[in-house]
Amino acid sequence: MQAVILAAGMGKRLGEYTKNNTKCMVPVNGTPLIDRTLNQLSKLGLTRVVIVVGYEGKKLMDYLGTERNGLKIEYVNNPIYDKTNNIYSLALAKEQLQEDDSLLIESDLIFDDGMFNLLLDNPFPNLALVAKYETWMDGTMVKLDRENNIVNFVTKAAFSYGEVGCYYKTVNIYKFSKEFSRTKYVPFLDAYCKAIGNNEYYENVLRIISFLSKSDLKALPITNEKWYEIDDKQDLDIAEALFAEEKDILRKYYGRYGGFWRFPKMLDYCYLVNPYFRNSRIIDEMNANFRTLIGEYPSGMKVNTLLASKCWGVKEEYVIPGNGAAELIKALMEDLPGTLGVTRPTFEEYPNRRNPETLVTFVPKNADYRYSAKDLMEFFGKNHADNLLLINPDNPSGNFIPKKDILTLAEWCEKNGTRLIVDESFVDFSHGYEDNSLLDDKILEAHPHLVVMKSISKSYGVPGIRLGILCSADKDLIAKMKKVVSIWNLNSFAEFFMQIYTKYEKDYNLACEQFIEERDAFGDELRKIKFLRVMPSEANYFLCEILPPKNANSLVLTMLKKYNILTRDCSDKKGFDGKQYMRIAVRSHEDNARLLKAFKELDK
C-alpha cells in the first residue's frame, strides 16, 4: 500500500496564508497540514508516499526531503499548476498509481487519526470516504444505493437543494486497488483528459465510472469522525477549534459567540432559544419570501417601531426595536448616568458595558442563588443605586420573581429615585407566562422610570434575525435612544417577522406550553444524575452545581470531545466564588435525550 497526495494547488482563497507557501504547509494550531498527514500515514506501514507538487513545490520538497517519519517520499511535479485542475495533477502520477494499492488524499484536509483505518480495515478494495451532507460542505456530492455503491457523482452545476437529504459529501480520501487503477481509473482518466482537457477535476472520471453496470467503487460513510476541508480563512478558523489542544478548546469555541451550524453534528447547549416556535408555519412564510427579503431594503425606524408596537402591545412612543437586545443594551448602558445595581451571578452583558466603579453588587447568601423583591429592596435600601438591573428569570440561576412582586419593587424604585431596568427575555418560559410580562401601557405609565428589555431571539427561537425591543413610558429616553441607533438598524427578515407574527400568536402560545412541559420533564431527569445538583428554573436553562469528584471544566471538555455536545462552564462567573457550575440549556426532547444519555454514561 502507498499514498498519493495531491498538493499542487495555489490555495488562493486562503489569502496571505498561502502567499509564499503551498496550502498543505498552512499550520493548524501550529502544525502544518502536511506534517499531520504524514505522521498519520507513518503508522500504516506504507511502501512510499507520492506527493504531486506545483505551486511553491520546491519549498515543500526542501522542507520534507525524501524521508519523513520513516516514510519514503517521492515527488511528481506539475509545472502548469496555475493552468490546470487536480485531474492533471493526478494524471501526472498515473504510473505510480498503477504500481500498488493506493490511498489517494487531498492535502487540504484535517481529520481524526482513525480515518485511514476505516479504509484499511474494510474488505472492499475500492472505497471513497463520504459524510452525510451538512450545510457547511461544498464540492463534489454523491448518491448511494442501499449497498453503498456510488450511483452518481453530483457536480456543483447539478446540485439541488431539494435533494440534499440523499446527498453525501466526498471526504476526498480514497482507497484504490492497483487493479482498479490499471483497468478502470487510469484508462478513463486518459480518455477524459484527451476528450475534455486538463482543467477539470478527477472526481469527474469517477462520475463516469459510476455509470458502469459494475463500477467496483463503493462508499464508506463515516459516523462521528471529525474532519474538515480547508479552502479559506473561515475553514482554517473552524479547523483550529475542531482540532484544538485541550487547554485551548473551550476558549476557541466560546469565543465564537455562535455560528455553530458550521460544526459537524454538534449540539449547542450554550445558547438559549425556544426550539418549538420554529415548527410554526411562520418560518415557512419567511422562507417563501426569502428572495424578496434578501433583495430589498428594510424600512426605517418609524415603520419598525410601528410593527413592534403592533406585536407587543405598547404605544409607538414607548418602544424601540433593536438589532438584537445587544444593540439596545449597549446604547442604554453606555449613556446611563449614575450607579447601577446588579445581582450576581447574572448576565454580564449589562455590567460589562459599565465602569466597574459604578456598580453596586448584591450576591444572594444561599446555595441556590435565590432572591426576592424584598431582598433587593432591603439590600439596595442600604446600598443606594441610581439604577437597578433585574434579569427575570435571571441568567444563569433561573431565579424568578413574580409579577406582583416586581410591581412592588417598581413602586419602591420610583419612591427612592431609582430607575428599574427589567430584562424579561426569558419570562415567556415561566409558568403562567401569559400574565407575567411587564409589556403593558398601563404598567409602563404607572412607573415612568421603568425600562423593560426583551430579546426576541430567545423566547421566539429566531436568533438569526437579530431582534430585540426596549420599552418605557420615559419618552425622552426612548427618543434619545432612537437617535443613537441607526435608522436602518433592523434587517428585512426581522421586519417581515414582525409584519406577520400576529397571524401566528396561537402557534407561539402552543410553543411556550410545549417548552415548559419539556423543561420540567428535562429537569426531573437531570436531577437523577448523581454528579449534578440542579437548581429550580423558570427559564430555558438549568444552573447545575457539579459535585465531586467531577469538576465543570473536565466535564464540559468530555461532553465536547466525546459526545460533540457544547455546554457552558460557568465556574468563572462573578458571584460564584470559585464553585463548580454548568449552565445547561433546554432544547428539543430528542436533543435533550442525547445529552441525558451522555450524562448517564458518565454517571456510571
What pLDDT is stored for residue 572 in this prediction?
A: 85
What pLDDT is stored for residue 421 in this prediction?
A: 98
Instruction: Compute the distance between CA of residue 351 and CA of residue 119 in angstroms, rounded to an integer.
Output: 53
Instruction: Compute the distance between CA of residue 373 and CA of residue 392 in angstroms, rounded to an integer.
Output: 11
Instruction: Compute the distance between CA of residue 100 and CA of residue 208 in angstroms, rounded to an integer.
Output: 23
Instruction: Compute the distance between CA of residue 240 and CA of residue 253 in angstroms, rounded to an integer.
Output: 10
CATH no., domain 243-276+507-602: 3.90.1150.10
Instruction: Compute the distance between CA of residue 287 and CA of residue 474 in angstroms, rounded to an integer.
Output: 37
What pLDDT is stored for residue 205 in this prediction?
A: 84
The amino acid sitting at 216 is D
479, pLDDT greater than 90: yes
Residue 139 parent element (H or E): none
Q: What is the pLDDT of residues 89-126, one digit of tens each?
A: 899 999 999 999 999 999 999 999 999 999 999 999 99
CB 321 within 8 A of CB 471: no
Confidence at 457, pLDDT banded by 50, 70, 90: confident
Calculate Rg over the CA atoms of the chain: 29
Helix orientation angle between 492-500 and 281-288, rounded to the nearest 10 degrees: 130
What pLDDT is stored for residue 256 in this prediction?
A: 86
495, pLDDT greater than 90: yes
556 versus 214: the higher-pLDDT residue is 556
Domain ranges of the chain: 2-237, 243-276+507-602, 282-501
* CATH class label, 2-237: alpha beta
The grid coordinates listed for 587 are: 432544547
Q: What is the pLDDT of residues 506-525, one digit of tens each?
A: 999 999 999 999 999 999 99
Instruction: Compute the distance between CA of residue 315 and CA of residue 308 in angstroms, rounded to an integer.
Output: 9
Q: What is the pLDDT of residues 297-307, one digit of tens each?
A: 999 999 999 99
180, pLDDT greater than 70: yes
pLDDT > 70 fraction of the chain, expressed in percent and rounded: 100
Please state the separation of Cα 335 from the chain's center in Å.
Answer: 32
Instruction: Compute the distance between CA of residue 358 and CA of residue 356 in angstroms, rounded to an integer.
Output: 5
**53 SS3 class:** strand
What is the 3-state composition of the chain as percent helix, strand, coil, each rounded to the nearest 5? 45, 20, 35
Q: What is the pLDDT of residues 133-146, one digit of tens each?
A: 988 888 888 899 88
What pLDDT is stored for residue 156 in this prediction?
A: 80
Length, in residues, of the chain = 604
What number is the average pLDDT over the span 288-297? 95
The topology (CATH level 3) of 282-501 is: Aspartate Aminotransferase; domain 2 (3.40.640)
Query: Of 134-138, 345-349, 555-559, 561-565, which gets the smallest average pLDDT?
Result: 134-138
User: 85 Cβ partners below 8 Å, 6+ apart?
Assistant: 198, 199, 200, 201
What pLDDT is stored for residue 213 in this prediction?
A: 64
Q: What is the pLDDT of residues 19-73, one digit of tens each?
A: 889 999 999 999 999 999 999 999 999 999 999 999 999 999 999 999 999 999 9
Instruction: Compute the distance between CA of residue 7 and CA of residue 29 in angstroms, rounded to an integer.
Output: 20
What pLDDT is stored for residue 485 in this prediction?
A: 93
577, pLDDT greater than 80: no
